[in-house]
Amino acid sequence: MGLSVKILSLMVLLAPLVGGVISGVFGRRLRPRGAHFVTITGVLISFFSSLYLSYLFFFDYAVTQSFPLYLWATSGPYHFMIGLLIDSLTVSMMLTVTFVSLFVHMYSIGYMKGDDSEPRFFSYMSLFTFAMLCLVMADDFILLFFGWEGVGLISYLLIGFWYQKDAAVVGGFKAFIVNRVGDIGFLLAIACAIIYFGSTSYTDVFAQLAYKSSEMIRLGPGLSASLMTVMTVLLFIGAAAKSAQVPLHVWLPESMEGPTPISALIHAATMVTAGVFMLCRLSPLLDYSPITLSIILVIGALTALLMGLVALVQCDIKRVIAYSTLSQLGYMMMGVGSMAYQTGLFHLFTHACFKALLFLAAGSVIIGMHHEQDMRRMGGLWKRMPITWLTFLIGALALTAVPPFSGFYSKESIIEAVHHSSVTGASFAYVCALIGAFVTALYTFRAFLMTFHGQPRFDEKHQVIQESPWVMLFPLVILALPSVGLGLLLVHLGVEEVSSFHLTELSPAFIGIMCAFYFYRIHPSAADRAKRYFGLFYQLLLGQYGFNEINAIIFVSGIRRLGQFAYRVVDTVWIEKYTIQRISHYFLNISHFIRGKHSGSLGYYALCMLGGVFILIASVCLGI
């Protein structure tokens, strides 16, 4: 069995890489259809291999296996081995990533039709899938970081794919730069593993936790902290940037400038969930740091509530779903912070399906509306796009956590876990989770009703609105299935135990749905009155709490001023005037002195040579 698992794992990992490289190198010769074939075939092989591995681990009871592949580097006593770790968590993530990626690839055939750069686009998507699988399957920090940086780099290329648009270029740069901030924390955590554990292997690090848990790190004069706290806080900084937690969330809404399939791929099962996965994979470290758990819980709660509120005032259909992703990532972090790691992963899996469904359904609307994304110019689309309407509704019900849809089981499990958690800040997080459940229902059905119901707010005479082609609808139908039943299936498989939920946890969602119908279907004028009544708060939400302005003042302007100071004072005065110019004058004086000794007389030169020889012989004799 060991050999078969190893071969299957390598097939999962390498098939998307091969497809992506072939499409990228030979794209012009292959043309779009050839690029579609090689990339989708690669992801299809990866998906079916993941499916078979899932059968082995969940039904045939295969055991955890680790495969060393090769020695990457040796430095003194440290040996950095590249290898794969295959267990139930790995297999679950592999299946989720390849499933969503496969249907995003298929959907992209219709969405990107006619684009001159289709082979490049499909190459990027397959390489993105490969990088995410490296991250998921790694058995140590080194391969994990390789995949971590891989998804960061390729997401930059995908977000800025339409580089002719300034907003796409800015969005790509913003994602890249903010993720580099988190990478500093991640790299320092890896350095801690090397220095204090002598290894980057998960197994080696976990084996030493019991007697390393009390070790302290000296941070400065009279200042020290627990090794576990320092290391886990650094890991969380990396996770917060990748999984877009407040205040490192600012890159994710800007990534909406990329093609819609990329929004689904990045925001559903792959890049943004990498931080949640990493914390769950390294959860044995978190168990030794109550401080870090409390930080994760409170930051996750703030992200879930604050970003959900911002989604209430968005009019771009993709941005509503983007802020929804931020909010749901906050819920996953609450699961991690309350030490219910399995619950956080449970929501990760269900969210991957219904959020990919919502993004792709939004893309179907955008294509049908001739690339219009403003919901204020939509309305009444359910008659023209019935399949898109139905699949969007299924995704909305799952996101809102209405039973028996998949989001109900996972989201309510998190609320229950937070409610019963003893971690500091759990009471605050519980209140945020309940309010967030109401807000989620309100903004989700606001988007649904503004898009598909009410009177059409577009020019019906000059706009032909029709359903998307089946190459786009088929992935929607397939993704709708797990959005309905995945939660119940995982509960029956024993992945998560669900207790009976109280009315306190279920009622916010239903109240939110009723409020959405009241404000946006029964009495639309009431929404305008509420907007005027909460004018200041509405403007605060429109400005996204001023995070972009704060970043611009502190970091952008601050770094620019620091650069100007470095140029005017450090470079011009200290370096150029007092260092470079003085050194140049010193050597110039030496050259003038030496040049003055060149008389042109051969006798003088011979005398100098004899003097030098005499000094050399004398120094040897005297032992100098």
- What is residue 1's predicted lDDT score, i.e. its pLDDT? 47
Domain boundary among 116, 139, 162: 139
413-to-90, 210, 331, 338, 382 alpha-carbon distances in Å: 22, 30, 10, 11, 33
Same domain, 298 and 366: yes
- What is residue 60's predicted lDDT score, i.e. its pLDDT? 83
> How far is residue 87 CA from its own chain's centroid?
22
Same domain, 592 and 453: no
| Helix and strand counts by DSSP (H, E) for the chain | 27, 4
Task: Note whether residue 246 is domain-resident.
Answer: no
Total-model pTM: 0.88
Q: Which residues in the chain land under pLDDT 50?
A: 1
* Burial degree of 562 (CB within 10 A; 0-12, 13-18, 19+): exposed
Q: Measure the CA–CA gap between 583 and 52, rounded to whole angstroms.
A: 70
Task: Note whether residue 255 is domain-resident.
Answer: no
Same domain, 388 and 537: yes
Report the domain count for the chain: 3
Task: Note whether residue 144 is domain-resident.
Answer: no
Are the beta carbons of 39 and 53 closer than 8 angstroms? no
Same domain, 583 and 537: no
Nearest alpha carbon to residue 240 among 159, 156, 310, 302: 302
Task: Note whether residue 165 is domain-resident.
Answer: no
**535: containing domain:** 289-542
Same domain, 481 and 594: no
Same domain, 327 and 445: yes
Same domain, 379 and 317: yes
- What is residue 391's predicted lDDT score, i.e. its pLDDT? 96
Q: Which are the contacts of 484, defined by CB distance < 8 A and separation ≥ 6?
A: 394, 398, 404, 405, 406
Task: Note whether residue 230 is domain-resident.
Answer: no
Domain boundary among 106, 139, 172: 139
Reported as a single tens digit per residue, the pLDDT across 259-304 is 888 888 887 667 888 999 999 999 999 999 999 999 999 999 999 9
Same domain, 486 and 567: no
Domain boundary among 542, 559, 581: 542
Same domain, 384 and 523: yes
Same domain, 443 and 417: yes
Same domain, 312 and 293: yes
Task: Note whether residue 96 is domain-resident.
Answer: yes
Task: Note whether residue 250 is domain-resident.
Answer: no
Task: Note whether residue 411 is domain-resident.
Answer: yes
Q: Measure the CA–CA gap between 138 and 135, rounded to whole angstroms.
A: 6
Structure-token match 């972090």, residue found = 333
Same domain, 324 and 467: yes
